[in-house]
Structure 1
């Protein structure tokens, strides 16, 4: 994996020490694809488990598909409790890779609002916060959702090139060089 061009090492180390967890703060990891957001989030969750906390790692699409599949308000409330009160740390990966309708925005808002100031959240995204309304283009709660996520959050911004793209380009160059022999 390539080293990012810009990353706040102290902020990453602080997140891995779980400094945020005892104060019910959030960590939001913002970076383009291929810079290790998921790996950092997984490592934070792993550290939490090693220190005796419960942690749940889920992609945004998995979370919203699960909540959206509940066919009664009672079933939905039970699943919301699964994501909001049963784990010390909830990690939501890949926020921003897909756009969601207003119902999904409302479901995510419920998760975030129920955890707000009570339990920590780690979220990864490839989008700047100013672009988050594009994830939920028709949702009235988008601004409130963003506000609650970032209000008590440590934001880890990572800059650089995708290691996947660079590896693919290097492989293509190698194949091209071999075919010319």
Structure 2
């Protein structure tokens, strides 16, 4: 099962991507947030989102960080003071080859994922794609992603201006 750290990272990553794009549309066209969301649906970014692109990028990056690629690495036994290198070395020296081939390092969070975690991310991606097919569901989904990002920003950066002002309208 995906850790909360990974779930939070993915939520922030995807909601930020969408929020920034909608905010750019709003600012560039000097229109309302609702109009910006509708215009966002015409963009290449939305097309990529509807194809699962942010998830696919995350998954491709993750698969590129398979510990199995480091089985014969000279780093495996080299001396290091770096905590991250030491942790990687510990995994490389304690896990069996088949476990290493099924362990992926997510760099941003420092978390390690397995095939079952990747399947869960793929299921989340497929679920998002499903919601973006219907215009009504797509609008609600994009609005929800933008709200999530504003909630996150209010928590992390309480003084920062939020160009879409979605939370302020309710």
Structure exhibiting the larger radius of gyration computed from Cα positions: 2
The structure in which a higher percent of residues are helix is 2
Per the normalisation by structure 1, the TM-score is 0.20
Q: Which has the higher contact order (CA 8 A, sep 6+)?
A: 1
Per the normalisation by structure 2, the TM-score is 0.21
The structure in which a higher percent of residues are strand is 1
